[in-house]
Amino acid sequence: MQCIDNIEKKLNTIATSLTGLQREQSWPCEELLNQAVYQTQNFLHPHLEKLQNTAQILLETTEGAHSKAVDVETLFRAWHMDKNPPSLLSLCIFLLEHLAVKPSPDDANMLIVSAILGQIHNEPAYHNDMHFRKVLSQAIRLIIVNNDIYEGTSRALDTKQICTLLSAACIHDLDHDGQGNVVKGIHIEGRAEKHSYNIVKPYLAAAGCDDETLKTLLTMLLTTDVSPLDDPTNPMMQMKAAYRFHFLGEKIKAHSLNLSTDIRALEKDPALTTLCMLLHEADIATSAGVTYDVTKYETTLIMEEFKDDKAYPSDVVTFLDQVCHRRFLSAAALKLYAGNMARICALAEQDVKNGNEAYGPSNLSNFLMPHAEHSNNKTLN
């Protein structure tokens, strides 16, 4: 229990400093910050107990077989139905206690600040605080499996890297306005990601994050930008090229990657590239690597947010083609999600073939209201 004792000692001090600094910033409003602080402080132990009883699936290292995917779906459904789902900080501590690691004081501060700020309620249908919970949960799963695969090697994540990935998951879409990076038909690279970083930077700097850690977080956030879709120059595609260069045998010269200035550090930094890849895969895993019902729900949310429109099986196929390229790249994600993605692909393509009928509204989805003919149980014809 060293980790929770260490973090609990810091919570009150950090919460007070956040409130003081908030008065100098335009975001967040005091009421929302106070709500996030209250939930994090006052329910930490009940949330941890709930996670111990219900969320062990996040700590398993077995392949992403369909039965495990259904367990993850069940956990996420319970969170959607819970008026007080586990806080981001409780999820971070849940992992750190399991790994029996103790963050440095500065990294503990970074985690607390990131988790509280990520807890702040956000309105968009998809990019909200529940999205942060799911991305953080997938990051936890990837950390566990990555370190199981690479135990005893330099590719296992150390405590600093684990804390950085957890923090990035908490803040990666902070204060998202639901517009994406195309505004009035004009694409602005990294618009949402840079906004998230710029509003969190003063809080993280005040908490003791050094310049190197801040630069790492910025690079990680920037490489979650998947726009323009299927464009080899978008940050996510550039990051994937760097990952393939470092780890998958595409041995062109590093400078030939021709990465954008903001993420050029990836050319010579395989460890940073790994963190970026794991954050990206955590970001897409709930939509692409759990069950088809979850994918339909997530796709419906994002279509409701971006276009105020219905979602169709063809939208799922487009996402799997243009964002995921029908594969995960890290060994951890392949182990957890590859089989599930293949199944989701096949089911979506089958629905396109059968008429491409629109999914229902998100609040009536099979994910939220499972029934006897739950689509997870149907077979491919």
Give me the tens of pLDDT residue by residue for the chain, a chain 381 residues long. 667 888 888 888 898 888 888 777 888 999 999 999 999 999 999 999 999 999 999 999 876 556 799 999 999 999 999 999 999 999 999 999 999 999 999 999 999 999 999 999 998 999 999 999 999 999 999 999 999 999 999 999 999 999 999 999 999 999 998 888 877 777 888 899 999 999 999 999 999 999 999 999 999 999 999 999 888 899 999 999 999 999 998 776 655 688 999 999 999 999 999 999 999 999 999 999 999 999 999 999 999 998 778 999 999 999 999 999 999 999 999 999 999 999 999 999 999 999 999 999 999 999 998 863 444 444 343
Cβ distance 234 to 228 under 8 Å? Answer: yes
How many other C-beta atoms lie within 10 A of the C-beta of residue 308? 9
Q: H helices of the chain, where?
A: 2-22, 30-42, 44-54, 66-81, 88-99, 105-118, 129-149, 159-171, 191-206, 211-222, 235-247, 270-288, 292-306, 313-322, 331-353
Domain 2-377, classified CATH 3.40.630.30, yes or no: no
Residue type at 103 in one-letter notation: P
- Cα separation, 275 vs 157, whole angstroms: 9
Cβ distance 318 to 311 under 8 Å? Answer: no
Cβ distance 315 to 297 under 8 Å? Answer: no
Q: Domain segments of the chain: what residues?
A: 2-377
List all residues 6 or more positions away from 27 whose beta carbon is below 8 Å from its beta carbon: 175, 199
Q: Which residue has the tokens 């929302």?
A: 32
Cβ distance 128 to 46 under 8 Å? Answer: no
